[in-house]
Chains A and B, each alone.
Chain A
Amino acid sequence: MNPVLDKHRVKTVVRPEMRFQEQVYLIEVWKGLLITSRHFFVNLWRHCMKALGQDAAAASVTTQYPEDPQVTAHRSRTRHRLLKREDGTPRCVACMLCETVCPAKCIYIKAEESPDVMIEKRAKTFKIDLGMCVFCGYCVEACPEDAIRMDTQYIQFPGSTRADLIWDMPELMGDRPKIPSLTPSKDPLSRP
């Protein structure tokens, strides 16, 4: 019998019968307590050793986030970046492909005519709402001009309002730092 080809194979999951030892439960409780107590004392010992300045294995898997940097995978894609041509103008030709492909519908582009006839169109405004973005990277893949890319390891873009999470073109190009507003708006749900 070929398990891959046999489509009608039914896998019956047999629940193991509980033995008497398990039905009594107290023995199982005891075993469980041994496990948790082992963790408790081992971790306590490690914490104490650390507190005394000794070398000890890590007692917890917690990342103390603001103090310790958050570790993200090398290949993780984070904040967007708009690229420029050699003469400093944005590469984007406002073809709207990224706006169309974006599953979160969080790219807002307004197009205008470009002074350069070879380029025809360019973006007048280009906004990405990072509050809605799902960081799928489709926009990067869709772009025919290699005008939009995503940075790695850049995960801190805090804001007090939802509007703070909307990045404008100069901010995306790195011409202007994104400065979040310091006071929360009266209506946190407001959008520009």
Chain B
Amino acid sequence: MSCCVTPPAWQGWLWSGALIFAAVNFGLGVAAFLSWVERKQSALLQDRIGANRAEIFGFRALGLFHIFSDAIKMLTKEDFAPPAGLRPWHSLAPIVSMGCAALCLAALPFGDSVEFLGRSWSLTPLPLEYGVVFVLALLSIGVHGVVMAGRSSGSNYGLLGGLRGAAQMISYEVAMLAILAAPLYIYGTLDLSEIARWQARTWHGIPMWGIFLQPLAFILFMTAGAAETKRAPFDLPEGEAEIVGYFVEYSGMKFGMFLTTDFIESIVLAGMATTLFLGGWHVPGLSALGLPSLVAALLGVGAFILKVMTVLWVLMQVRWTLPRFRFDQLLDLGWKNILPLALANLLVTVWAAALLS
């Protein structure tokens, strides 16, 4: 792979480590910010104002300080461990959940590689040849956190919630692989930065972004992704207020970690959608300007983040528009609709590719 660690090994490791640190922190920051976005966006589209009471020295900053008050609340609450639960696993579950989600962020290609000090540095924190598989695998390992939380709570409701969560996530994982097979067949690589680079090609002036080549796969991916990351309208495992979910026996920051996991998973989903379907860091027409490599790469990072934010906005909008699915509808949608559609899409793609070549 051309993009991978070209600098000497230790510098590459240092660079990679710094980028992973930055990516994970970026994810956590955006996750905290998303809690504000979620409140305000839902308020706006429901003709409300939203949380605006937290203030520091009389400044309210549109309710942004609620992020801090939330964090303080979570951190100072009693950390309750159910006596009937399995203590170490009970504590491990949120860490597994959140760790897996946060690690996914490291595989996202935030930008093109930059020429710097005479070498080429990749802006993907973990430049893996099999990035897609890495992200999907980590998302599946995240299921263990859910099941672990349910099992170790020592509560039947928690256990049932964990099982529901596992059933949902595993069902949609199958669908997800079938969906991604088609675009990956076109790109011919599993390296996320290569995929982003591939989409910079143009066809009669139109960038060959995944969304134009595979519109059906994009819609299916967003649906299955929302289901796999347990976002509304598929938030049955959680249903904070109405359904007893797998984290019913959690309190304080451990509960907060599950919530953060959710937001981080949305960011990962948005990042994957951006990389696979929206051209990653690619801005149409930017390369024609002939900017220096560093500036172009930074603009690319900005474009990537902007695209991620846009996808997150759409996800939130969908979340606050659609009513929640019933569990049987959810499984029906996954197995009877999305999976066959994805397989049909794959067939058509392969057939079309064979005809065209």
Report A's interface with B, CB cutoff 8 A. 26, 29, 32-33, 35-37, 39-40, 43-44, 47, 59-62, 64
- In the complex, the answer to whether B322 meets A29 with C-beta atoms within 8 Å is yes
Instruction: Verify if B48 is at the interface (C-beta below 8 Å from A).
Output: yes
A44 vs B40: C-alpha distance when bound (angstroms): 10
Contact A64-B318, Cβ < 8 Å, known A40-B44, A43-B44? no
Query: How many contacting A-B pairs (Cβ < 8 A)?
Result: 40
- In the complex, the answer to whether A33 meets B47 with C-beta atoms within 8 Å is no
Known A29-B321, A35-B321; 18 more pairs at CB < 8 Å: A29-B322, A32-B322, A33-B317, A33-B318, A36-B45, A36-B321, A37-B45, A37-B317, A40-B41, A43-B44, A43-B45, A43-B47, A47-B44, A59-B44, A60-B48, A60-B49, A62-B48, A62-B49
Residues of B within 8 A of A37 (CB): 45, 317
Residue of A nearest to B43 (CB): A60
- In the complex, the answer to whether A29 meets B318 with C-beta atoms within 8 Å is yes
A97 vs B293: C-alpha distance when bound (angstroms): 89
Residue of B nearest to A37 (CB): B317
Residues of A within 8 A of B45 (CB): 36-37, 39-40, 43
B141, chain A: closest CB distance, angstroms? 31
Residues of A within 8 A of B47 (CB): 39, 43, 59-61
Instruction: Verify if B347 is at the interface (C-beta below 8 Å from A).
Output: no
Contact of A36 among B43, B48, B219, B320 (CB under 8 A): B320
A61 vs B356: C-alpha distance when bound (angstroms): 57
Interface residues in B309-340 (C-beta closer than 8 Å to A): 317-318, 320-322
A130 vs B321: C-alpha distance when bound (angstroms): 41
Residues of A within 8 A of B321 (CB): 29, 32-33, 35-36
Bitwise interface map of B from 34 to 60 toward A, beta carbon under 8 Å scored 1, else 0: 000000010111111100000000000
Residues of A within 8 A of B44 (CB): 39-40, 43-44, 47, 59
Majority secondary structure, A binding face: helix
Residues of B within 8 A of A43 (CB): 44-45, 47
Residues of B within 8 A of A35 (CB): 321
- In the complex, the answer to whether B49 meets A39 with C-beta atoms within 8 Å is no
A4 vs B115: C-alpha distance when bound (angstroms): 85
- In the complex, the answer to whether B48 meets A40 with C-beta atoms within 8 Å is no
Contact A40-B317, Cβ < 8 Å, known A29-B322, A32-B322, A60-B43? yes
Residues of A within 8 A of B46 (CB): 39
Residues of B within 8 A of A60 (CB): 43, 47-49
B209, chain A: closest CB distance, angstroms? 20
- In the complex, the answer to whether B317 meets A36 with C-beta atoms within 8 Å is yes
A37 vs B45: C-alpha distance when bound (angstroms): 7
A171 vs B313: C-alpha distance when bound (angstroms): 54
- A-B interface, 5 closest residue pairs, ranked by CB to CB distance from nearest: A40-B45, A62-B49, A36-B45, A36-B321, A39-B45
Residue of B nearest to A38 (CB): B45
A39 vs B41: C-alpha distance when bound (angstroms): 10
A64 vs B321: C-alpha distance when bound (angstroms): 25
Interface residues in B199-247 (C-beta closer than 8 Å to A): 219
A32 vs B322: C-alpha distance when bound (angstroms): 8
A37 vs B313: C-alpha distance when bound (angstroms): 10
A50 vs B268: C-alpha distance when bound (angstroms): 36
- 18 interchain pairs (CB within 8 A)? A26-B219, A29-B318, A29-B321, A33-B321, A36-B317, A39-B45, A39-B46, A39-B47, A40-B41, A43-B47, A44-B44, A47-B44, A59-B44, A60-B48, A60-B49, A62-B48, A62-B49, A64-B49
Residue from A26, A39, A40 whose CB has the most chain B CB atoms within 10 Å? A40
Residue from B44, B49, B320, B322 whose CB has the most chain A CB atoms within 10 Å? B44
A42, chain B: closest CB distance, angstroms? 9
Interface residues in B273-298 (C-beta closer than 8 Å to A): none
B214, chain A: closest CB distance, angstroms? 16
A37 vs B320: C-alpha distance when bound (angstroms): 10
Residue of A nearest to B46 (CB): A39
B215, chain A: closest CB distance, angstroms? 11
A30, chain B: closest CB distance, angstroms? 10
A73 vs B44: C-alpha distance when bound (angstroms): 27
Residues of B within 8 A of A44 (CB): 44
Residues of B within 8 A of A36 (CB): 45, 317, 320-321
Residue from A33, A35, A47 whose CB has the most chain B CB atoms within 10 Å? A33
Residues of A within 8 A of B318 (CB): 29, 33
Residue of B nearest to A31 (CB): B321
Contact A61-B322, Cβ < 8 Å, known A33-B317, A40-B41? no
B322, chain A: closest CB distance, angstroms? 6
A39 vs B317: C-alpha distance when bound (angstroms): 11
A78 vs B294: C-alpha distance when bound (angstroms): 69
A29 vs B325: C-alpha distance when bound (angstroms): 13
Residue from A32, A36, A64 whose CB has the most chain B CB atoms within 10 Å? A36
B313, chain A: closest CB distance, angstroms? 9
A27 vs B353: C-alpha distance when bound (angstroms): 29
A48 vs B43: C-alpha distance when bound (angstroms): 15
